[in-house]
Amino acid sequence: MKEAVMIPEQYKQIDFMKVKKKQKRVRFIKGMLFLLPSILLFSVFLFYPMARTLYLSFFLTDNSGATTVFVGLDNFKNIFTSPIFLKSLQSTFLFVLYTVPGTIIISLFLAVIANEKLTGIGFFRMIFSSTMGISVAAASVFWMFLFHPTMGWLNQFLEALGFEAIGWLTNPEWALLSVSISTIWMNLGFTFLILLGGLQSIDSHLYESAEIDGASYFYKLRRITVPMLSPTLFFVITVSFINAFQTFGQIDMLTRGGPQNETNLLVYSIYQEAFKNYQYGTASAQAVILFFIILLMTLLQFKLGERKVHYQ
């Protein structure tokens, strides 16, 4: 008798397990169906290309990009002994060094003054965020004129003040700085918008109680604004870093990497090597370097950011 009772129990258990398993499978399939389009496209246009780039970096290729000879690490050896590539790396780091702090400091200033409750402040916010709506190509055209050796406003201004005209884009000593200035301008809008959003999300009670205690404007700025803004700051710094390493459009429009390769930034160098010189192998090796730089930057920022950032 005892056994007779036991068996159906066991069957029930199995049935129950089966149903649960089936439900699990259905749920899994459903989840995958919702995610499939994204996963598929990520695989085709992001993960596969990354692997393929790594693969190509070990080969020589023909003009169409098909692999011909396996050369191991030779492409990497070549780029790291090539003065042009080393120059490109150096320019890229300098460019990052100029543009990231420049963009952040100016945008922060604009966001702080645009965060006051004043009549007509919406208009100023609109102006400050406007460069986000101006494409790299259009911005480059605007700046190309400002940098123009004779007609450009910058040189006219300098001459009016009695200084000598500068070859903004043609003088090797100035070109990278000039491109950086125009890039800072292009990035202002986006960075400003994010920082303003961060400022507005700070609890106003903090300022009110500081005011009651008689705190000065700069004391509040230093002790409330900056610490409370740190997660947003951390985000824009990371994004600015990554963007700076990926700069391409303004180089192609303003200097084409010149003069004397001064502004031959990493992505432009990859583009030249792959699509002008048809050296897909070395271009891929450069792309791999770019990938690792950005990976390292992101990880470093996360590590450093975690400790210093103040989260609410």
Partner 1 sequence: MTMAISKKLLFYLLLTVSALLVFSPAIIAFLMSFMSSEDILTGRIIPETWTLDNYIKAFERFPLFGYLINSFFVSLIIMIGQLLLSSLAAYAFVFLEFKGRDTLFFIFIATMMIPFEASIIPNFQTIRGLDLLNTYTGLSLPFFAVAFGTFLLRQHFKQIPKELKEASEITGMGDLKFYLTVVLPIAKTSLVTLGVYGFLTSWNMYLWPLLATTDDTVRTVQIGLKQLQSQEQLNEWGVIMAGGLIVVLPTLILLFLGQKKLQKGLTEGAIK
Residues numbered 202 to 221 that lie near partner 1 (CB under 8 A) are: 208, 211
Q: Write the CA distances from 268 to 91, 130, 249, 251, 258, integer angstroms.
A: 11, 26, 9, 7, 11
Q: Which listed residue (100, 104, 175, 193) binds partner 1 by CB under 8 A?
A: 193
Least Cβ distance, residue 258 to partner 1 (angstroms): 14
Residue choice 14, 32, 69, 300 for contact with partner 1 (CB under 8 A): 32
Among 108, 175, 228, 283, binds partner 1 (CB under 8 A): 283
Of 76, 93, 174, 248, the one binding partner 1 by CB under 8 A: 248
Distance in Å, CB of 42 to partner 1, minimum: 5
Least distance (Å) between residue 176 CB and partner 1: 19
Q: Say whether the peptide bond before residue 101 is cis (omega within 30 degrees of 0).
A: no
- Work out how close the CB of 16 gets to partner 1 at its nearest, in angstroms, rounded to a whole number: 19
Contacts of partner 1 in 69-88 (CB under 8 A): none
Q: Does 185 bind partner 1 (CB under 8 A)?
A: yes
Nearest C-alpha neighbor of 85 from the set 285, 294, 292: 285
Residues 114-143 that bind partner 1 (CB under 8 A): 114, 116, 118, 121, 124-143
Rounded to the nearest whole angstrom, what is the least distance from the CB of residue 56 to partner 1 in the complex?
A: 7
The CB-of-153 to partner 1 minimum distance in angstroms stands at: 7
Asked if 224 touches partner 1 (CB under 8 A), the answer is no
Per the structure block, which two tokens stand in for 4? 């007779």
Return the residues of window 141-160 that contact partner 1 according to CB under 8 A. Answer: 141-146, 151, 153, 156
